[in-house]
Chain A
Amino acid sequence: MSDRPNHTQPATDGPLADSLLAMGKFLRRGETSEDLRAMFLSGGRTGDVFYRDRWSHDKVVRSTHGVNCTGSCSWKVYVKDGIITWETQQTDYPSVGPDSPEYEPRGCPRGAAFSWYTYSPTRVRFPYIRDVLADLYRTAKKEHPDPVDAWASIVEDPSKAKRYKKARGKGGLIRTTWDEALEISTAAQVYSVKKYGPDRIAGFSPIPAMSMVSHGAGSRYMNLIGGTMLSFYDWYADLPVASPQVFGDQTDVPESADWWNSQYLIMWGSNVPVTRTPDTHFMAEARYKGTKVVTVSPDYTDNTKFADEWVALQPGTDAALGLSMGHVILKEHYVDKRTKPFEDYMRSYTDSPFLVEIDTATGTLVPGKFLTAEDLGLSAEDNADFKPALLDISGTARVPRGTLGHRYSEKDKGQWNLDLGDITPALSVMDLENWDGAAAEISLPRFDLTPEPGQEHAGGSGVVQRGVPVVQLAGKTLTTVFDLMLAQYGVGREPLPGQWPADFMDASTPGTPGWQEEHTGVPPEQAIRIAREFADTAEKSGGRSMILMGAGTNHWFHSDTIYRTFLALTMMTGCQGVNGGGWAHYVGQEKVRPLTGYQQYASAGDWNRPPRHTIGTAFWYLSTDQWRYDGLPANQLASPLAKGQFDGRTTADCLVDSIKRGWMPDYPTFNRNPLDLVDEAEATGKDPVQHVVDSLKDKTLAYACEDPDSPENFPRVALIWRANILGSSGKGNEYFLKHLLGTDASVRAPEAAEGHRPVDMVWHDEAPEGKLDLLATADFRMTSTTLFSDLVFPAATWYEKYDLSSTDMHPFINSFNPAIAPPWQTKTDFELFGQMAKRFGQYAAKHLGKRKDMVATPLQHDTPDAMATVKGQVASGAPLVPGLTMAKLKVVERDYPNLYAQWSTLGPLTEKLGMVTKGINYQVAPEIETLKHVNGVSSTGAVLLDTDKKACEMILAFSGTSNGRLATAGFRQLEEHTGQKMAFLSEEHEGSRISFHDVQVQPRSVITSPEWSGSEHGGRRYTAFAINVEHLKPFHTLTGRMHFYLDHDWMLELGENLPIYRPPLDMHRLFNDAKLGTTSMHESGNAEVAVRYLTPHSKWSIHSEYQDNLFMLSLSRGGPTIWMSPQDAEKIGVRDNEWIESYNRNGVVVARAIVSHRMPEGTVYMYHAKDRTVDVPLAETSGKRGGIHNSLTRILMKPSHLIGGYGQLAWAFNYLGPTGNQRDEVTTIRRRNQEVQYR
């Protein structure tokens, strides 16, 4: 062009080069730039065609990943020539609205690498069996043509049984046929049902939300045969026990798009870029609208990159920081100044104005029980014991509406709500118009002291004296929960007596920012600033301060106390139930949004009720004999002010006590076959329930948990699908191998010595090894679980089946669709259980027939069972009354020969009894009629559920979130119950149904439903408890409000009636593990250091899933690693990438060191679920394969998790139960021989 600037000169470097390039210019069809530097080419791109060709594909199929990350991301799966090639994310989610970031794209590198599994060499293509067992079985079959008899001949011969059990996990898997695999697995089940009882068969498959039908098909099978489904949420320690304690709800949290609405966001022990990858952008983007972001984490984490401030605290001390922040907020917003919106919120939605009696029984004044209507002499009220009272500002005691007592009283219909009416509750006794100045100096426990020399065995507990204002009423000395909170948090007021801090910096007494620094290492200025900003933001924004919390704070033994300090912050600042505010707990949480339909399908509630659902942690604790090594005296955990209820008992005894009281479930329940128990009763013409009660009384019948090592109480068969218990979640992994499986293990701990053993359990000198007769696993890849299994079923992957997925991270329901048919001999989980049901029926016709089964279930949450324990007083010696002082007992009919017919059709109970979710009964007669047309009917006229797609249709039709008619009907019920208007929340969708086809086309937004506590009404973002706060629906707790205070006897014994700081367990003191921080010399001449051993979630895997994926391995260090600080590395003379061994009483791990300055001294990370399958050498310490991350952990029971039958402390499946926590462990690490051996 003519107007070329004259400064343009040929810009290359010499005539020769110019001429060369010029030659290229003529050889090419392109156009070079004037200065001959660049060549432009248009057309004739022969060489480019490669990439165009590579990109070509035949079709794109929508599916997702059924992995327990709760991502529920919709993906495009590309298919070429009938082969899955790769995947990219879908971007077609319904919009969040014009002024918010959208949910596209959702996904992460793990998901993007999934298709690798489809054809990878670790894919399980055929059914497998271990050669030893195959030999035994095939030989036995010659002698015993009947499969059940053949199985019996093996397992009843101790030497044969030992042979195949001892071989577990040591290779030798050989191909078998589906026919043989089904034959053996069902024969083992039929044998076990017949000989020991159906509750000796256990099923484990976690997180239904990640693929509801794949989970439900197996769960339905288990529940039809009377087997036991194990919980996972509590077992994974992902259940925040504080949630049922405080909210009366399992877990309900905001969807991730609601992070965007926050104005102050603390990420506390939750590294969202790694663990909530698809959602992190909402946090990053919220910063742009002025949200301040704070991270609390011991290491410099991925999310700290986004933070305005990084709070680097000592692991496990979070509650101290939480408490001190509460101290600042209470002082500044409730004492120095009184922030009206906060106070109003506290009065309406929390238990803070409720009255608590000061207990003088032991001579020391301590907080006791809630004052109830009964105490006030209002016995005429229904359920007066369960109607806690408060004081009106005028000084009169009042019983407000909405309590537990109102919930279950016909007389109080319409009164179960949070409308205070004419009551103005007094938060503090001091606020009373007629308070006379009376105060009581109460004693409060503390657990944060350094033990006196010589008293280390007792731990560091003590007492502080602080005054609370009191009134006398009904013959009792009373104060409010709020007053107790101020005392607990160390916020003094004139003229109260007691030990109070002088100011925020005063470290002499618990509660202050100054005090917390000694424990957390966090500068008090920072604690004060964050607390202040959190509260000020909440005040100005109407509650839009949020705490996003996760495994880093929830996997501790004392996580319930940690969480209660967090939740208290959100409650005292009025943030719960507000968009952009409140708690946001994300670890292992799941949300089956179409809950009611899923539950009906998976529990087989259409055929029989109740199902056998149990607490996974207790099941494994007993069956893997970890209880034998525990011996933890329960009173070691108790408050110095305890009354001695735990004296002389171990935590294992507490578990047995809880089961016998009907607080918690346990299967096997009795030391007899529950089928035989009914037969016996019927033979004598006795009521079977009475027969069981009488037999327990005369001791001819006992609980299995009292003697878990006696063969009749062993679990006999375990079916595992969608899970890797032995490579991932199995806390105390080595104990699993030793006692449950009977194979080699690296357990290093001694068993509990005499005098330290449980008193309520039978001790066998010889611990059993190999309790389990059959471990059968379905998976598409090889894991520790498949390696140790007797039978391996080849499963279809997530790109090879139909299913449903949902999560609490987003408000959509998503679909799985097959991009290809299941290849080789793989089958979907649905198909597997269908075939198994057919086969079971065949063998059952001869061996079992129709039977009756005695099912014991615990006192259940969201039912009147929650009123079984008056005032949470634990009585001893009460007469056995099923459903009150012990489990409920019910006879359930098992039509074993017709198992498949039941499994594959909808049973009659759905229509007859309806479906109950959280206290609301859903009637679905019209939906059943529709389903008959959608799914077709069986020869008996029942709705067919014989394909995965039909099961999906049933789940969607029977749930409020996907069926507007049901949601609205549910709200109308709730309106009658509460007297509050709510039906309008879903009426806009009353005619809407989400069908499976709908979710195949696009992820669909759910409908607001009483199945959950939040609202999507009008297109708003979901946040938990919005319905409670906006529509005055009570929380499912004792007071109907959120609870700071818990008055159950055991909570008082533990000193945890109020939020409190408890340090991590001292493993040195309790179990003689190495003392944290010490260095020593190993016999090999290598130095060792004892460090805090944490297992946070990994960037390169989702638990053990993807940890074996070549892409993830290529992007990381290619095998198991332990992150450590330069200081610790120096102590043991190890350099980056050198091999180390890490061990404690529970086992040993071999890994390579990653040395990084982002790690704090004294703490190491082995990212979660490094399975033993990839690059794990033999350990020097044991001579065996180096273990998994859970080789260094063991189950520890916390009694507060075992409470049941009282208010919100009542069991429901995956709702409440002991957690499989693992964060308190300490490990010793040393550099090992660098020449590692693998075989």
Chain B
Amino acid sequence: MKVMAQMSMVMNLDKCIGCHTCSVTCKQAWTNRTGVEYVWFNNVETRPGVGYPRTYEDQEKWRGGWTLNKRGRLKLRDGGRFKKLSRIFSNPKLPEIHDYYEPWTYDYDMLLNSPSGEHTPVATPKSLLTGKDMKIGWSANWDDNLGGSLETMDQDPLLAKMSEEVKAEYEKAFMFYLPRICEHCLNPSCVASCPSGAMYKRAEDGIVLVDQDACRGWRMCVSGCPYKKVYFNHRTGKAEKCTFCYPRIEVGLPTVCAETCVGRLRYLGLVLYDADAVAAAASVEDEHDLLDAQRGVLLDPHDPAVIEAARAGGIPEDWIESAQASPIWKLIRDYEIALPLHPEYRTMPMVWYIPPLSPVVDVVTNTGNDGEDADNLFAAIDKLRIPIGYLAELFSAGDPAPVDLSLRKLAAMRSYMRGVSMSDHRDESITEAVGMSGPQMEEMYRLLAIAKYEERYVIPPAHAEQAHDLEEMGCSLDFEGGPGMGGAGPFGSSSGESVPVAVENFHSLKNRQTSDRPSSPGRVNLLNWDGNGTPEGLFPPEDGK
């Protein structure tokens, strides 16, 4: 047993309102700059829908994640590194910009600067890639709220997998939202795909990062990630991805996406896991067993043996306590209502989800006939609009049982709590039907419904004595072609002219901030401005200038 700590997230989809606040605050903080206009570390998808990038879940097409070889061993689905090396300069499994979307802006300044004319001034769309006029045909969230469903819904890879037929019909309409960030997997296929060794998983908290200095821009991580949560910065030529907001996590602050989530559906906390058990768990043959296998990798933070091994492995005491108070452990293991996203990718993802309830389909005959239902007000799980099969394709490799149980627990909680809140009546037959005690149900209710800030986010701060590890240790100019010439990986010497982001950060800002104005040189496109420096035209001149 090698005990390691992992920062993880659970999102309660049943509470997600699809508002995209998480996407915007994340983008504002991290990716409103040139080269990553199209990049949303955090995005929200309407399901059913095609996702972002389009159809990313179709691994027949994109070939991300792991699969098992004939010997039952894990192999990257898109072939091993050897295969990848053979086509390192052309990677056909890489999404193109149009699979994400072509970012654009508008000639807004025409609103102010139009000369007298015949018509009311208007700002027209301009491509941020070419600077030319464009008709907008896809966006970061094109099929929001089932928009364009007739054109796109049949491309949802999950619908294709389902045995049940789902039609785009008003009477049977259903939808829910799926916010996504990097999964910070225990078994990350992006890390394994990287020929430069530039991707790594942080030892203390499991956050998966791209070393901006070491990245050579091969983009094997992009194709290797089945969730398509590693992106290519087309300006720096480096891969970038969700950082789990480590500069915040390190000081005990929640990630931006979590803290700004107005649905209050995100939970952050540590889990302890056995690093030695990961490979075996990811290699179980039957995809339906992957969920249990992954649950099994997580270690009970209250188990004395685990605590001892954790101490031996150098995990600080307050981290162990945090793991014990972790909402993640409770939701995944104690209540077993949170499920992983696409366990069949075998990456052991660490952002888990509570599946959503939905309204009933048949309003005429519905009388509410769930066994657990005290007041007969709530519908049976199998009468809900969202087909269980669809959720199962997302969260349990197509096995309906875990989703069914999770939804049953939510429904039972509602029935049981209605008794409590209407008449202080506690009918434990309801909770027993889903294998829970009354007090346990009330605990779960508090975590899901009342969900105080301190209970949603249990984050141990980074240890001050480790601070030196977190600082920039190498020379920031120590990059390919720069002073020192260090940092090259096996393929680094030929990997292009890009500069490390950290260096670019200091030297290249002024150019970049004024470079994407399609109609008005001298004005700054804020979507591309990263908050550093003072490009011309962005700020009022100081007095006397």
Contacts and interface: CB of A to CB of B under 8 A. Distances in A.
B445 A289 contact: yes
Contact of B145 (A13, A1114, A1158, A1173): A1158
Contact of A88 (B260, B264, B475): B260
Given A48-B212, A285-B451, A1115-B24, 15 more contacts: A38-B188, A38-B192, A44-B474, A49-B502, A112-B25, A115-B28, A285-B15, A290-B416, A309-B363, A1110-B527, A1116-B139, A1126-B150, A1136-B150, A1156-B147, A1158-B149
A1157 B48 CA distance: 12
B173 A533 contact: no
B63 to A, nearest CB: 14
Contact of A308 (B118, B197, B378, B421): B378
A1185 B276 CA distance: 66
A1238 B525 CA distance: 22
A1065 interface: no
B73 to A, nearest CB: 6
B20 A1115 contact: yes
Interface stretch (A121-129, A354-362, A426-434, A563-571): A121-129
B256 A1115 contact: no
Contacts of A54: 29-30, 505, 530-532
Contacts of A37: 74, 187, 191-192, 279
Contact of B377 (A25, A292, A1176): A292
Interface string A112-123: 110110111110
A310 B449 CA distance: 23
Contact of B259 (A45, A88, A1185): A88
A171 B69 contact: no
A170 B118 contact: yes
Interface string A362-387: 00000000000000000000000000
A1137 B147 CA distance: 10
Contacts of B151: 1135-1137, 1155
Interface stretch (B91-99, B203-211, B396-404, B431-439): B203-211
A107 B32 CA distance: 20
B101 to A, nearest CB: 8
Given A119-B539, A273-B18, A302-B17, A49 B472 contact: yes
Nearest to B275: A33
Contact of B418 (A27, A28, A100, A290): A290
Contacts of B278: 33, 38
Interface stretch (A3-11, A625-633, A923-931, A1221-1229): A3-11
Contact of B191 (A38, A782, A1238): A38
A343 to B, nearest CB: 21
Most B CB atoms within 10 A — which of A47, A128, A1123, A1137? A47
A1118 B101 CA distance: 12
Contacts of B366: 309
Interface stretch (B75-83, B157-165, B317-325, B328-336): B75-83
Interface string B503-535: 001000000000000001001111101111110
A540 B423 CA distance: 8
Contact of B80 (A12, A41, A1114): A12
Nearest to A14: B80
A510 to B, nearest CB: 22
Given A23-B490, A1111-B527, A1155 B150 contact: yes
Nearest to B200: A41
B502 A132 contact: no
B418 A121 contact: no
Contacts of A120: 108, 526
A97 B422 CA distance: 19
A121 B520 contact: yes
Contacts of B104: 1114, 1118
A87 B25 CA distance: 7
B529 A171 contact: no
Given A37-B191, A50-B212, A1154 B246 contact: no
Given A131-B116, A1118-B125, A91 B259 contact: yes
A132 B77 CA distance: 68
Contact of B539 (A14, A83, A537): A83
A1154 B149 CA distance: 9
A263 B420 CA distance: 11
Interface residues of B, number: 180
Contact of A47 (B101, B214, B534): B214
Contacts of A86: 25, 28-29, 32, 531
B200 A28 contact: yes
A97 to B, nearest CB: 10
Given A25-B197, A170-B120, A300-B175, A290 B417 contact: yes
B453 A102 contact: yes
Nearest to A43: B469
A107 B120 contact: no
Q: Which of B24, B105, B213, B367 has the most CB of A within 10 A?
A: B24
B236 to A, nearest CB: 9
A1181 to B, nearest CB: 14
Interface centre among A291, A1099, A1111 (most CB of B within 10 A): A1111
A33 B273 CA distance: 14
B485 interface: no
Nearest to B212: A47
A525 B248 contact: no
Contact of A27 (B32, B125, B280, B490): B490
B218 interface: no
Interface stretch (A274-282, A693-701, A857-865, A956-964): A274-282
A171 B75 CA distance: 62
B195 A50 contact: no
A57 B187 CA distance: 34
B363 A1156 contact: no
A1129 B147 CA distance: 13
B27 A80 contact: no
Given A300-B170, A309-B360, A1173-B122, A172 B213 contact: no
B23 interface: yes
Contacts of B415: 290
Interface in A806-856: 823-824
Interface in A513-537: 523, 525-526, 529, 533, 537
A295 B358 CA distance: 12
Contacts of B80: 12-14, 16-17
Nearest to B451: A101
B30 A51 contact: yes
Contacts of A1176: 122
Contact of A105 (B170, B174, B260): B260
Contact of B211 (A46, A124, A312, A1126): A46
B420 A290 contact: yes
B2 interface: yes
A55 to B, nearest CB: 4
Contact of B148 (A309, A312, A1119, A1156): A1156
B124 interface: yes
A1239 B117 contact: yes
Interface string B366-406: 11000000010111000000000000000000000000000
Interface in A448-465: none
A789 interface: no
25 contacts: A1-B2, A13-B73, A25-B197, A30-B200, A38-B201, A38-B278, A47-B211, A48-B211, A48-B246, A50-B212, A86-B32, A88-B29, A173-B113, A284-B263, A290-B417, A290-B422, A305-B17, A787-B111, A787-B120, A1114-B141, A1156-B148, A1157-B173, A1160-B170, A1178-B119, A1238-B122
Contacts of A47: 198, 209-215, 500-502
A1115 B1 CA distance: 45
Contact of B279 (A8, A24, A171): A8
A40 interface: yes
B487 to A, nearest CB: 8
A169 interface: yes
Contacts of B155: none
Interface string A1109-1142: 0110111111100010110010000011100000
